Amino acid sequence: FLCRPDIAKMNFDYITYSTPNTAAREMIEDPEIRNSEIAFPDADMLKNCETFSYLGDDSTNVYNELWREVKSK
């Protein structure tokens, strides 16, 4: 359902988060947004990006505890 271009476009409009659905992207009326390298980076830009890997619940718990300490100071 969410992969239908019209629904993906509505989702894009609602959450204002880029869509990987190329048909939905073509439906974006504003050319500045539709052609934005920020919202839709090309393969060359993505080569310079990094992602975070999920390290498991134990790591999440350590992170959350350390973050609580930072916020409490």
| Residue linked to tokens 């310079």 | 48
Burial status of residue 63 (CB atoms within 10 A of its CB: 0-12, 13-18, 19 or more)? exposed
Contacts of 25 (CB under 8 A, 6+ apart): 12, 19, 34, 40
Q: Is the pLDDT of residue 52 over 90?
A: no
How crowded is the C-beta side of 53, counted as CA atoms within 13 Å?
Answer: 1
pLDDT of the residue at 34: 96
Distance CA 32, CA 29 (A): 9
Band (69; pLDDT cuts 50, 70, 90): very high
Band (51; pLDDT cuts 50, 70, 90): confident
pLDDT in tens, 1-46: 999 999 999 999 999 899 999 999 999 999 999 999 999 999 999 9
Are 32 and 17 in contact by the 8 Å Cβ rule? The answer is no
